[in-house]
Amino acid sequence: MSSGSTRTGSSRWSGTGNRFSSGKGTSLEISNIQARDLSEAWFLCLREILTKGRDYTIERGSYAGQTRKELDFIVVQIKKPGTRPLVPDVPQGVPPPSTMEYVESYLPYLMASHKKEGEQYTYGQYLERQISEVIKMYQKDGYNTNQAYMAVGDAESIDWNDPPCLRGIDTRIQHGSLHFFVYFRSWDLWAGFPSNLAAIQLLKEYMASEIGVRDGELIAMSKGLHLYRYSWEQARSGARMERLRTGQLPLELDWGGKSN
């Protein structure tokens, strides 16, 4: 049997370059994060990826050839995502991953269909019409529906060099509040997560106001939450986890990155 063939028994694949391993101990690990607000969610995700993320070299996609840490799959439940500030308040000396000024400039990319010169797509080109339709759906037909889903991307995007990372925003109105369920196929924890979720939270607040309900929870999921190598040291400092390098246990965090 050749080295690239399938096998029966405990080994699912036998591939070259250590790409495939035996079936023993190869189950994917699902990370579950529960946070009070966006800032705490980001700090907890930093800890999770620095302690549990796998290192690998990108073979296709943005930054091919570079190394990143990535979680198998993560679910982040944020109970009070509207708590200000919406962007992380990082420790002194750590460059902030985002600012509200940037988030406000990013909002048209998320909500409007207009593309700037050089942009292959915007999330808004997919979401703009769907945002208004979801609002109308809840206003006209009531809240008990599973059809108020907003999709990003289409069949052609599989051929693009950089297809959309955000792939969908599902919604639900329950207990008088609008909740979002967001999925990213690939997600940069340092350069993407803070700005993405802050802008999505502002979108949720706008939609809740238009519908006439309260702002609710935000649940985000991804099978590709990652940190590029350039941000590892910044991430350790931001999460107060410098002692990981010396093999000591990481510091416990209070919300907002403050150590206990």
Q: State mean pLDDT over 108-112.
A: 96
Answer yes or no: is pLDDT of 15 > 60. no
Answer yes or no: is pLDDT of 218 > 50. yes
Q: DSSP state, 83?
A: P
Q: Give pLDDT, residue 241.
A: 75
Q: DSSP state, 58?
A: -
Q: Rounded CA gap, 241 and 50, in Å?
A: 9
Contact in structure between 195 and 103 (CB atoms under 8 Å): yes
Contacts of 101 (CB under 8 A, 6+ apart): none
Per-residue tokens: 222: 């991804």
The model's pTM is 0.86
Neighbour-count burial for 175-191, b at 16+ CB within 10 Å, e otherwise: eeebbbbbbbebbbbbe
Q: Rounded CA gap, 240 and 258, in Å?
A: 8
Domains of the chain as residue ranges with CATH: 28-249 (3.30.572.10)
Contact in structure between 189 and 226 (CB atoms under 8 Å): yes
Contact in structure between 154 and 167 (CB atoms under 8 Å): no
Answer yes or no: is pLDDT of 8 > 90. no
Q: Model confidence over 61-101: pLDDT tens digits?
A: 989 999 999 999 999 999 999 999 999 999 999 999 999 99
Q: Rounded CA gap, 128 and 132, in Å?
A: 7
Identify the band that residue 242 occupies on the pLDDT scale cut at 50, 70 and 90: low
